[in-house]
Amino acid sequence: MIVILTADIINSRKLSSKKWMNDFKQLLNSFGKSPNDWEIYRGDEFQLEIKNPEDAFLIAFQLKAFFKSINLDVRMSLGFGDKTYKTKKITESNGSAFIRSGELFETLKKQKINLAVNSGNPDFDEEFNLILQLSMSFMDSWLQQSAEFVLVAIQNPTLSQEEIGSMLGINQAAVSRRQKRSQYELLLQVDRYFRKKVKSLEV
């Protein structure tokens, strides 16, 4: 089982891609190689293969934090399943994970939802789409500073608040405030619960 993440950048024209594209590609490179594992197309849409399904939420949260940290946003669908047709380009490959991700992605814009899952398992999808909607109630409201903290914290899970502060150029007290405002601990609880549940998922 793999996960295919299909996404588009919301209101991407608000900010010149020259200011963020290199950093975005660097983030995607931490998850795999282009164009086999990820690909950007039409300028503001992209697709990413997540080989370990347990990582799907944490990767989606990182992408969310990256775009909120530059005052943009992202809409993402997570399709769980297999890859039955593989090519050198992810956008030309196929399988149930691709189909589910694509079908879900087409509905997100109409429903004004920024993150959802489609595993083909109705009970799993109902539970986690509700959890994601509740999570989006605060993630959609992240300010730039909170999102910057979340991105650094996820990517550096062993660092103390003082060490994160050094990376962000702020003191420990400011890090603590950003951590609380971002609901970071709740985000980690969602990730842990998802990892436990996805292990028993059959698609």
Q: Using alpha carbons, list the distances in angstroms from residue 133 to 81, 121, 203.
A: 22, 18, 22
The pLDDT value recorded for residue 203 is: 62
Mean pLDDT by 10 residues, the chain (203 residues): 96 85 95 93 92 97 97 96 84 89 92 94 96 95 96 95 95 96 96 94 71
| pLDDT at residue number 30 | 96
Backbone φ and ψ of 82, nearest 5° = -120, 175
User: What pLDDT, on the 0 to 100 scale, is given for residue 112?
Assistant: 86
Tell me if the bond preceding 35 is cis, omega within 30° of 0.
Answer: yes
Residues 6+ apart with CB under 8 A from 127: 197
Q: Give the count of alpha carbons within 13 A of 150, CB side only.
A: 30
Cα separation, 191 vs 23, in Å, equals 24
Nearest by Cα to 136 from 78, 81, 56, 190: 190
Residue 148: predicted pLDDT: 96
Q: What is the pLDDT of residue 78?
A: 98
